[in-house]
Amino acid sequence: MAAVSEAQSLAGCPEKCGDVDIPYPFGVGQQPGTSRNCFLDYQSSFNLTCNNSTSKLYFFNVPVSNISLQQSQMEISINVSKSCYNQSQPSVPYQLNAGAFTISSNQNKFVTIGCDAVGLFATMDNSKSNFTPYSGCVAICDKRPPREIIMTDDKTCSGTGCCEVDFRAAIYYIEIVAGSLFNHTDVSSFNNCTYALVVKRDWFSFSLDYLSNFPYDLVPIVLEWTVSNDSCRNASGKEDYACKFNSECVDSSNGVGYNCKCKSGFEGNPYHPDGCHDIDECAIPNICPMPRRCYNHPGYHNCSCPPGFNDINGTACITPQRSNQHNLLILIALGVSVALLVVITLVFTLCWAHKQRTLKQLRQKNFEQNGGDLLLQQLSQQQGYSTTHTKIFTEVELKNATNNFDESRILGQGGQGIVYKGILRDNTVVAIKKSRVGGDPKQIKDFINEVFVLSQINHRNVVKLLGCCLETDVPLLVYEFVNNGTLLYHIDPLKNEISIPWEIRLKIAAETANAISYLHSYASIPIIHRDIKSTNILLDHNLIAKVSDFGASRLVPINESHVTTVVQGTLGYLDPEYLHAGQLNEKSDVYSFGVVLIELLTESKAVEFSRVEEKYLAMYFVSSMKEDRLWEIIDKRVLNEKNEHQLKEVALLARRCVRVKGEERPTMKEVAMELEGMISLENYRSVKGEEIVSEESEYLLGHVPQANGASTSASYGSILREIAFEIADGR
């Protein structure tokens, strides 16, 4: 029915030419007995020609095979551009002008067939001012290729013997030319013809036989047409508006002009003066289920119960008596439903209350299992020393902050637990550590120890503990978020190609030393970190160092010099004396920090089993200095003439930190002062000049005042004396 209604022509005008329908706005000639055209007067592109002798329809001089009102498309046949090497005549480009219509870029493609074949095309859009230079594709083969070389399905262009390319939309003119890359004199064993064509996409499929003989002189392509250059908004109020009764306007997909279509529930030709007419859906068999009757309306229909029947919510037609019975059943069902709802609500409430009690008991059990009582006991015993307040978070808060601990939020994993990135309700970004406790009393003790230790610390170079949560199956710690990764990440050349300048490395070392010195000397209770390493030193966006991971830390009573404990730490950073005797003191952290200093100097790992000379970095470093090979192991990216002296000073300090005997190592306070002194001298040198500072340094080496209250420069003089002493001593 739709196909018949689409083919409406104006009265007296031809409806067909051969087997091709001619729907208005297209037409041939004029209406008989009038001066009116059979086509839309908007433009001559709708004026077609019918050759009565051949019964073929033409668009200008191009054959037409189909016209679609619904798709707003017209299918025509165009010539193939052909060029052969054994012909003396040159290839002549083929040109197509679609008039006011456009060549569909969705329905067509450009294809080149042949060996040593070049197909080119140029286009122009509807503005008639944007002419593109030639483009196209090349197909190459020196002989007829086997099927298995091209592909298992030889119906697809692969670039061997055939290539294809798309072109942009809204094209009204195209020029096609076929040719070859090289001149060929011997064509006896060569596929000597090239074919270039624009073709309907779903019509063309490549065959290897086309390389010997392409059988088509004409191929189909699809044009897209509109009835105006205006948009729907601009055209709707004009006299030549093409959309007639019961139709609606649709803007063209390529942005030029508009088309018309029948409204829902209507059919016909939307361009015809009579417009679209209503579809009688009631003529469709069984469109309404019995006993309902179909009632047709303009654009729609409905199914209603016959007279004497009641409509039950659009689902059934029943008599009034049955309707009353039905209503009674509804009331009974409603009563039963209400009663069931009350029972279900009561059961749900009881279950919810039971679940809440169970959850409360579980949270209390988890709190006790995770060492909550131990933590409260320790905090209460040290209440007089604590200067910070540790917040207790709920499980719900931290689940919401981490999207239920989603794997995408994981920042890192280690022996003590998994760290997630979280965002609290006030948009504060935090790091949430999920401990690997699992009920082990020792692990629980380490976890509670970390909470307790961090609650005593308030220093800008120590990661701040914001709170904890103990009501989950494993305990959670909430820290400030340090967003720039670990120190190891920044100095490991395999992980980060951008090297940190030496001045920044020295600053990081000084900040870390200050933090450890604070733990040893200035915290309310002295704290030994016990796991100083480059992965436990975090950097923020300003490359400020933050010491983290206090799970292995220990508090040292003020009146004791050391504590005896099970050896714990990381291979390569462990103090040999602590490893041998199990006696932990402040000098153990000094050794570990010395290894970090060596990492900053060399960018080598603390333990490298691939290192032939020595697996442990500290021993390798000391032996290299004894053999006067310091400059061979220093990181070349930080070494220059200006900082050689400072690098050697830091190297000497690092060697002192990693001495085997703890009593020969400096304290962290002394280490921090020496590093700050180096930075201060460097800043002083940059202000006053290298020559003046050198003279002052020489003075300090020989004549350092011994008066009380010496300045930082005087303190640094002691460093210079130590350097001079070690050089003189051959160390």
**Catalytic annotation, residues:** 531
What are the residue ranges of helices labelled H in 32-119?
none
Q: Give the whole-angstrom CA distance, residue 364 versus residue 487.
A: 39
Please choose, from the candidates 437, 426, 517, the residue with its C-alpha nearest in 3D space to the C-alpha of residue 469: 437
Cβ–Cβ < 8 Å for 37, 47: yes
Cα–Cα distances in angstroms (integers) from residue 398 to residues 356, 431, 466, in the given order: 19, 10, 13
Residues in the chain: 731
Contacts of 87 (CB under 8 A, 6+ apart): none
Q: Is 677 helix (H, G, I), strand (E, B) or coil?
A: helix
Cβ pair 102, 224 in contact under 8 A: yes
Question: What does the H/E/C string look like for 536-555?
Answer: HEEECCCCCEEECCCCCCEE
CB 597 within 8 A of CB 509: yes
The Cα 466–Cα 278 span in angstroms is: 73
| CB-CB contact of 189 with 143 (8 Å) | yes
Rounded Cα distance between 665 and 587, Å, is 7
Own/partner long-range contacts of 155-162 (Cβ < 8 Å, ≥24 apart):
155/205, 155/206, 155/207, 156/205, 156/206, 157/111, 157/206, 161/113, 161/114, 161/115, 161/206, 161/208, 161/210, 161/211, 162/111, 162/112, 162/113, 162/206, 162/210
Q: Identity (one letter) of the amino acid at 311?
A: D
Alpha-carbon distance of 62 to 48, in angstroms, equals: 10
Distances (CA, A) of 186 to 63, 114, 260, 482: 38, 16, 58, 74
Q: Measuring CA to CA, which residue among 490, 424, 480, 433 is closest to residue 457?
A: 480
Report d(CA 46, CA 68) in Å as an integer.
13
What's the CA gap between 517 and 611, in Å, rounded? 32
